[in-house]
Chains A and B, each alone.
Chain A
C-alpha cells in the first residue's frame, strides 16, 4: 500500500510530523514502512529568470548567465543546451542541498558561479516520470510564475512523499487512506479530519432487483447514476491515484478507484444501457466460459462467485467485469456495484485465473462490512461533482449477512498480567478511546464495541496487543521472572546423534545436509527399502522434487559428484537424517569415503580409505557408543548387488538384527554419478538408539602375565576370518584375544587354499600360566581348527 503523505495530511493532523518520523512510528506500531520516496527534494531553491546568457570564454558547451531571483542577480555557469535568455528556471542557491550533493560557490573554468540551474533529475525526480525535454535539459518554468518564489517543489507539483507500507495479513483496514488516518490518529493521539469529507446521501429506494442466490456474498448494493460525461479526471484525483501506483483511465473509473483507495470499498461499474433488464443476481455453481473486459475468455468453475443479468454473466465477483457490460467513452448511465464477497472464494478465483487487481486484493484481505453505504454516498458526491452526473437515481442494497459488532470485556489486571506491565486505568482508557473501541467502564471491567473496520480484533489478547503497540514496547520490562524450575537436556537419541557427529568429525569426515525431496534418478538409490513405500508430492515444484526420499545414497553421491567435479580434496562425508514413509519413521546415517585416510609423501605413508577403514570406523564408532564389536556380524551381501560389489560388501547385523549395509560401490553406480570408485555405508540408527550399551564399570586389571603363541594354518580360501577367530576363541577359556596377522595364498600354497597366521594371547586371572596349561589349551585349538574348519596346522 502506497501512502501519499500530502493526501494523508488532509485526513489527519500531521503538523510537526515529518515523513521520517511518521514512518518510524508506524513501523514500530506494526505497519512496516519499507521505503520513503520523495517525488523531488531540494532546499534553498528559488524561481529565477535568465536575463542574459553568453558563451563561456573557455568552453564550447557552457554558458555564463545572469539570473534574476527578485532581490538579487546571480552569475551562474550552466551547461544545459536549452538554457537561453528569457526563460524562467529553478535556481539552487549556494548552500542548497540536493539529493546527493550540496551547492557551493565555485569557479568553472575560471568563471565564478553562484548556484545552479536545475534539471528535474538533479532534484531527484524519477526519470520514468520525466518528458524527453525534461530529461535532456534544465526545467523550464511556466512564464506566469513570479520570480523569487521559494515554494518551488509545490509549483512543480512534486512536493509529495510516498510511504511504501506493508500491512500484516490481519490488518485489512490499512489498505485504505481512512484506515491509515485512523491508525495515525491513534498512534500520535491526533485528530482526524474524516468528518470534513463530503457526501451525497442516496436513498435505498431504487427500482431494481438484486437477488443473492449464494451464501458467499454478505451484502450487495447497486447504485444508479444517469447522465454522466466521460472525460479526464481532475488533477488531484489523477495525482493521488498515480501516487498510489494506480493508472488513470477516465473520470468514471478513476472516481471508483479513488473512493476505494480512500474508504476501502471496491466498486464495479456496469454500463446500464448494456444490461438487458433490471435484475442482477449473485450466484455460484456455474460451469461455463466467460469473456472478461480484458477480452480474454476464462473457464468459470462452481466455486466462483458470478454476477448474472438475464442469465448472462456480467461480472466475476471481485475480480473482473464482462466485456459486453463495461463502461466506455460513450457511457452515460451506469450501475455501480458495491458488494461484500467471501474473501476465500475471491482469492481462489483470482489466484487460479491469475487475475490480480487492486479490487481483488482488497476483497481477499477482507473489507469493512459496513463501509458500503458511506462509500456509495462518497462516490455519488464525486460522480456528481467530477462526473457531471445529471441524476443520482438511487441505490438498492440487499444484506444477506448483517454485520455483528464484536463486543469484548477486559479488565485492567488482565492486561497488566498478560503484558507484564503496570498501566493505570486512565492510560488504558485513553488508548481504547483513541482506537475508537468505545470503552465503557463497568467497575473493573472495560466493555468494548469494536468498529467494523477492525475485523482483526476478536479476543482479549488482541486488545492487549493494541495497548502495548500504541503505548510503545519500551514499556515492556525485561527482568526475567520465569521461575519455573525445570531440568532440560537432550534425550537418548539426540545425545547419540551429537556423539555420532563428534566421533565422525574426529575421523576427518565432514557433515552434509541435502534435500529431502528427490527425483526419480536419486530415488533408485534408496537402499534396503521397498521403493513403493515412498511418499510422493501431489503437485511438485518440478520433477526434481517429486519424491520424499527413503534413503541417503542418491543425495550423498550427488554431493560427491559435485565436489569431485570441482576437485575438492578429501571427500569423506556423512549425513544423518530422519525419514518417513508409508509404513514407518526412522533415522539413518550414511558414510561415504573416497580419499586418503592418512597420507604423507615425505614419510612415504599413504593409507587409502577402503572397505576396511570404513569397517574400522564403524566398529570404533559403535564401541565409543558402548556397543562392542562382538555384537556385530557382517554377512555376505545377497540383498543389494545393484549398488555394491557382490563380494566386497556386506549386510550388517547388530544383536542378530539387520541394521544396514556397507561396501564398495558398484562401478555402474559410480559411472551413473560420475564419481570415482569408493566405499559407502548406510545404517539405521534407531536400533543403535535403542540397543543395550555396555556398562561403564571398573574391570580389575590382569594380575598375572599373559602368554602369546603364534599358529599358522592352511584352510580353504572361502573360510572367512570371523569363523577362524570364533573357532579359536571358543576353544578354551584361557584364550584372551586372537589376531590374524598374515594371510598368504601365493607360491607354495595349493589352489583353493590360503595360509592364515594367527597370534593368540592366553591369560588366567588366577595364576601365571604353566607350560602344561598352555599346551593343553593350544592342543584344544589345534583340534578344533582341524575338525571344525578342516584346517591343516603348519606350525
Chain B
C-alpha cells in the first residue's frame, strides 16, 4: 500500500473514532513496531539510495502527521469527555444543608471592646480592678464624703464595714492613681458595678461602666472636650455635636454632664431624644485636686480629667433596646442580634 492510500484510510478512521480506547488502538495500528508505518519502512530496501532518501522523508512526514492528528484527537476526546462529565453532575444550589453558626460576643462586651479599641488607638491602657472593693477606694479616695447618700447601706451592697461591691468604676481610677508613681496616666477602665436598685426596665442592680482617666501637665477642659468629641463620633457615628452642662460628682471639679446630639434625628428632635435633639450620655470633669493630693500628686502642678458612661445605656440608645434586664436574662435570641458594632 502506498503512503497516499494509507493516509486516506487513516483520515477516514480517525474521523470515525469516538473514544480514547479506539484512538489508542488506531495509534498502535499505525505507529507501533509492527504497525503500518513500520511496514512502509520494510518496502524501503527495494529502493535505490536516492529513492530511499526521498521515500524515507515522506514516511517520516507521514508518521509525524499521524502522531499530530492522534494527539489532537486525544485532546478533543478528553475535552468532550470532561464536558460530558461536568454537564451531567448537578446539585440543587438552592438547597441549604448545614447551618454554620458562629457564636456571638455578648452585646455589652461588644460595646466595651469598641470603646477600648478607640482609646487604645489614642495610647490608653485598659485597667479592670476588682469588683469587691474597699470603702476606702470606692468612696473615700473618690472624695465622697462620709455622709453622702451613696455610702448608706440602702444604696450600696456592703459585705462588711470595709468591703463592698464597687458602685462605680471610679474605684479603678482611685487605685490607678494610688499605684502609679509616674505621669502621664492614660487609662480606660471598664467593669461591672453594683447599686442597690430593684431591677426594672430602666434599673439593674448590676450594670457596666467605662471610665477614662488622664492625668498629666497642662490639661484643660478643652482637652476633655476634644477627647469626648472623638468618643461621641465613634459611638454614634461621625459629626456628633457635644454639649456640656455643669453637674456635680464628688470625684471631679468642675463636673459636667455631656449630651450628644441625637444620632436618630441628627438633633431635630424625636422620641429617642424626647424632642430635645440631645441625649444625655456621659458624666465628666476635671479630677478634684483633693483626689490628686490624696494619691500623692501635686495638684498645683498636675491636673487631670475623667469621664464615665454606662455601657447598657449606650447599647440601649444605639439599638433601641427598651428593657435593661435583657442584657442579663441572656435569652440567646436576644444576644445573637448584636453581631457587629455599627
Contacts and interface: CB of A to CB of B under 8 A. Distances in A.
B94 to A, nearest CB: 12
A622 B288 CA distance: 45
Contacts of A501: 105, 109
A608 interface: no
B253 A538 contact: no
Contacts of A580: 130-132
A516 B206 contact: yes
B226 A600 contact: no
Given A510-B335, A513-B328, A347 B149 contact: yes
Interface string A526-547: 0000000001111111000100
A196 interface: no
Contacts of B63: none
B221 interface: yes
By size class, the interface of chain B is: 35 or more
Contacts, number: 237
A537 B130 contact: no
A267 to B, nearest CB: 24
Contacts of A563: 330-332
B29 interface: no
B133 to A, nearest CB: 9
Interface string B220-234: 111101110110000
Given A485-B123, A513-B330, A540-B157, A461 B289 contact: yes
A494 B225 CA distance: 28
A516 B165 contact: yes
A559 B222 contact: no
A491 B102 CA distance: 26
A420 B221 contact: yes
A505 interface: yes
B120 interface: yes
A498 B330 contact: no
A442 interface: no
B334 to A, nearest CB: 10
A201 to B, nearest CB: 35
Contacts of A728: none
Interface in B195-228: 196, 198, 205-206, 214, 216, 218-223, 225-227
Nearest to A489: B120
Contacts of A571: 332
Interface string B298-342: 000001000000000000000000000001111111011000000
Interface stretch (B31-39, B64-72, B244-252): B244-252
B328 A170 contact: no
B134 to A, nearest CB: 11
B243 A484 contact: no
Contacts of B186: 484, 486, 488
A468 B248 contact: no
Contacts of A27: 245
Contacts of A511: 103-106, 109, 335
Interface in A566-615: 566, 568, 570-574, 578, 580, 585, 598-600, 602-603, 605
A418 B221 contact: yes
Contacts of A573: 103, 330, 332
User: Is the interface on chain A under 10, 10 to 19, 20 to 34, or 35 or more residues?
Assistant: 35 or more
B101 A570 contact: yes
Contacts of B126: 488-491, 494
B216 A517 contact: no
Contacts of B128: 494, 578
Interface in A509-524: 509-517
Contacts of B255: 465
B127 to A, nearest CB: 8
B331 A566 contact: yes
B192 A516 contact: yes
Given A468-B221, A476-B222, A482-B226, A538 B158 contact: yes
Interface in A295-319: none
A568 B332 contact: yes
A562 B332 CA distance: 10
A344 B221 CA distance: 32
B152 interface: yes
B13 to A, nearest CB: 46
A15 interface: no
A30 B105 contact: no
B248 A170 contact: yes
Contacts of B247: 30, 168
B46 interface: no
B58 to A, nearest CB: 51
Interface string B255-288: 1100000000000000000000000000000101
Contact of B130 (A29, A459, A578): A578
B121 interface: yes
Contacts of B230: 480
B119 interface: yes
Contacts of B97: 600, 602-603
A464 B244 CA distance: 14
Contacts of B229: 478
Contact of B246 (A417, A421, A469): A469
A19 to B, nearest CB: 16
A570 B101 CA distance: 9
Nearest to B230: A480
B244 A508 contact: no
A169 B248 contact: yes
Interface string B7-34: 0000000000000000000000000000
B125 to A, nearest CB: 6
B76 interface: no
A762 to B, nearest CB: 37
Contacts of B98: 598-600, 603, 605
Contacts of A384: none
A347 to B, nearest CB: 7
Given A513-B330, A585-B130, A572 B103 contact: yes
B102 A508 contact: yes
A506 interface: yes
A539 B131 CA distance: 18
A504 interface: yes
Contact of A516 (B105, B131, B227): B131
Contacts of A744: none
A769 to B, nearest CB: 40
Nearest to B244: A473
Interface string A346-367: 0100010000000000000000
Nearest to B184: A484
Contact of A476 (B158, B221, B286): B221
Contacts of A81: none
Contacts of B158: 537-539
Contacts of B154: 351
Contacts of B246: 29-30, 168, 465, 468-469
Q: Most A CB atoms within 10 A — which of B120, B124, B223?
A: B223
A573 B246 CA distance: 44
A33 B220 CA distance: 28
B100 A477 contact: no
A668 to B, nearest CB: 24
Nearest to A495: B126
A32 interface: yes
A538 B197 CA distance: 15
A346 to B, nearest CB: 10
Contacts of A125: none
Contact of A506 (B102, B327, B330): B102
Given A516-B206, A517-B194, A517-B206, 20 more contacts: A168-B248, A170-B248, A421-B222, A461-B288, A468-B246, A488-B119, A494-B128, A504-B103, A508-B100, A514-B328, A514-B330, A515-B206, A517-B165, A535-B163, A538-B160, A539-B153, A541-B198, A568-B331, A585-B132, A598-B98
Please list the 4 inter-chain residue pairs (A to B) with the smallest Cβ-Cβ separation, ordered nearest first.
A420-B222, A465-B254, A420-B220, A30-B246
18 contacts: A473-B244, A476-B222, A476-B244, A478-B222, A482-B219, A486-B123, A486-B186, A487-B123, A488-B120, A494-B126, A501-B109, A510-B103, A511-B104, A535-B163, A537-B158, A537-B165, A559-B330, A571-B332
